[in-house]
Structure 1
């Protein structure tokens, strides 16, 4: 309610300035110089106000509940409701991931896993549920990219951590909630243990409260997509507004791979909390950094809306974060950063909303709850008796 009142006053003030303010003495000059900014500012304010009016918060629930996210499960499983999951459907997609079975409350997996730490991260959440799950067979994709195209190819059930609207994969919480995330110099064995990061990053957020944060944008990451180039180039022109630099990744060979500059050092998630405005870009698929940024109580700018993980759908643009279109120009990035620098109270409130959502609705218990609901509902769709595949190995 507070932000809606504030936005109403700001919109009215901007409109009054546009029609009766300092520009009124010279309408032609006002139109040529001030209107573009006023138009952008009015549009942003109106979108924030509309988003807050239509936002319905997740219901209050017990610590082990995850009703905030369960509509995603219903939507992802809907294509299989009419016929259920048949043996033929599973066999049609065996090459798209790692085969798992649950038979008599025992977990089996094919012997070879393309990414062992990712399989381990997935199994961490499945093993505690075995006593309550029915027999089932599933194909779990541990690659970054989803597998089942909506408009062509097989339509069998494949579980993937991330997808766009072009895919029919069934989303599950990424392995990196426990282990197997991106391996970088700061985390040579991969990013994981979301429970520990929740504590350490939120503590860093307290160390740098909003009033003490550096009032500029910040980004550190490798050049997995050229969508990030415009922010890095803007930083090179205006370091007072944004500090964005490329780091090395495994494919780095020369400064050409970091947009003709020497690679910057990596920065811990905790040290991101020094800055007011944090940028998130997709990588090969959805970015693993996204959820971590909110814990700083900084304002998150989320570029592109195509890629999703299971928890994205319960978050609302302009309420929890600032949405930016894919491949923004330097001018567009500069404009929106300047807007929030000039509207600090709004920036702070959106940052607080984002933090509260992640803190309340993306606990490790929420992740475990999602796995329970997903596998329970998936198991109900099985239309054949699953027998142990002797080529698989027993996990637990």
Structure 2
């Protein structure tokens, strides 16, 4: 059953998935343009403001053919959008179906906003870590390498130039039985209603693959034991066993059972952030190195509780202690974080973000957009119709299929941050982190004094006996 992103009106044009054509070619009757009947009266969420920051580096020079082609060694595929149709030249296969659902998502965007995505060419990287690092590009001198090549990617870093784009899992991650985001939002919302915050296990929870990074392996050292109670429950996720057992113990909506949920990066950012924050639990974010497209406007102590990587065990224990002693405040942080995921990250906003970043990118094109001879046109039909095994890949596609152009315009793109405004915002984030650090350090200073006092008392008692 297709997820309907828009409501049906007399002016809508239905775009069904046509699998009757056995030649599996792209239909010629896709609408080339559709004027939404309803004007947007809302401003996009604040994280849209970062689009300007991500594209700012090419504002003066634009993107020439030479600049674009320098991104090719880092790319898995090239996408060309011309006259609203999409063409693919694949250089290398991505891990699992990352490329499949990234391309699928862009195809749904083209159906949601016909005629609004400009002609453009882009190169896309599917790996975990960014590919365009600032240290490799200089503006002056005989060896100047400016501007950097534009490369689209799922995450970036303060020391990288990758253009951040929504990751594949918004349309589904069939290899681990993760449904598309709209379906999963409904399931998580129902789970939040089933187990209220105060009735949840008063500990912190994390479940995942710890072998992908040293930070996660270090986290596992914080686990509960018979000797002490560090207030965390950490579980290793064996995906091979899960697949064999039909994913019976890995449903994300079934993991909203603790008051506190831990987010920690893997090889880079992790798609798990949105699922963890959506749970109504107070999210404990081990300070990330990398960022996705939606998280940069989140604020410590408003949407989550910050955890220092180098002090993760001590910080996690205090966070749980603090939350259990300040239940209303902890519950409110959890609620605001969840609300951010449920309301500011609806699929409509995900598509709006994609639209604006591609429109902004398209304006930077200083080249003739051409379809390479070895590129293939792709559409929903060529991707979905050949899959007839009834498996999870086709299910995710069917669930995320856009069948109508949007009857409502995209939200209004907010103005970019001014330099002073951005500095203030980042300073406020840092200030909130320092406040938590002080609370944590003060707590452990008191605990150490109590421990030392106990040791001295025991030592005095021992001497008196002698």
What's 1:71 paired with?
49
Does the 8 Å CA contact 2:284/2:316 hold for their aligned counterparts?
A: no
Partner Cα distance (2:238, 2:131) in 1: 28
Does the 8 Å CA contact 2:78/2:90 hold for their aligned counterparts?
A: no
Cα distance, 1:178–1:355 mapped onto 2, change above 3 Å: same
Q: Work out whether 1:120 is the aligned partner of 2:120.
A: no
Does the 8 Å CA contact 1:64/1:365 hold for their aligned counterparts?
A: no
What's 1:351 paired with?
334
Q: CA deviation at 1:357?
A: 1.3
Q: CA deviation at 1:234?
A: 2.7
User: TM (normalized to structure 2)?
Assistant: 0.64
Partner Cα distance (1:113, 1:395) in 2: 17
Question: What whole-Å deviation, never above 9, does each CA across 1:249-308 have from its counterpart, x for those lacking one?
Answer: 57xxxxxxxxxxxxxx95321122111011010011111111112222111100023211
User: TM (normalized to structure 1)?
Assistant: 0.75
Q: Work out whether 1:103 is the aligned partner of 2:82.
A: yes
What's 2:294 paired with?
311
Higher relative contact order structure (alpha carbons within 8 Å, sequence separation ≥ 6): 2
Q: Work out whether 1:384 is the aligned partner of 2:367.
A: yes
Question: What whole-Å deviation, never above 9, does each CA across 1:141-190 have from its counterpart, x for those lacking one?
Answer: 12222100011156100001112111100000111110347x34xx2xxx
What's 1:35 paired with?
none
Cα distance, 1:131–1:123 mapped onto 2, change above 3 Å: farther
Q: CA deviation at 1:113?
A: 4.8
What's 2:421 paired with?
none
Q: CA deviation at 1:241?
A: 2.0
SS in 1 for 2:341: helix
Structure 1 residue ranges without an equivalent (≥5): 1-60, 251-264
Partner Cα distance (2:268, 2:104) in 1: 23
Q: Work out whether 1:220 is the aligned partner of 2:207.
A: yes
Does the 8 Å CA contact 1:300/1:321 hold for their aligned counterparts?
A: yes
SS in 2 for 1:69: helix
Picking from 142, 146, 163, the partner of 2:126 is: 142
Cα distance, 1:339–1:361 mapped onto 2, change above 3 Å: same
The aligned length equals 317
Structure 2 residue ranges without an equivalent (≥5): 1-38, 138-144, 241-247, 380-466
Partner Cα distance (1:207, 1:239) in 2: 27
Larger Rg: 2
Picking from 185, 203, 208, the partner of 1:198 is: 185
What's 1:285 paired with?
268
Partner Cα distance (1:70, 1:220) in 2: 30
What's 2:258 paired with?
275
Cα distance, 1:388–1:231 mapped onto 2, change above 3 Å: closer
Picking from 202, 211, 220, the partner of 2:198 is: 211
For structure 1, which segment, 61-70 or 356-365, has the greater mean C-alpha deviation from structure 2 after superposition? 61-70
List aligned pairs for 1:356-367, cutoff 5 A: 356-367=339-350
Partner Cα distance (1:74, 1:279) in 2: 30
Note the aligned Cα RMSD (angstroms).
2.3
Q: CA deviation at 1:111?
A: 3.9
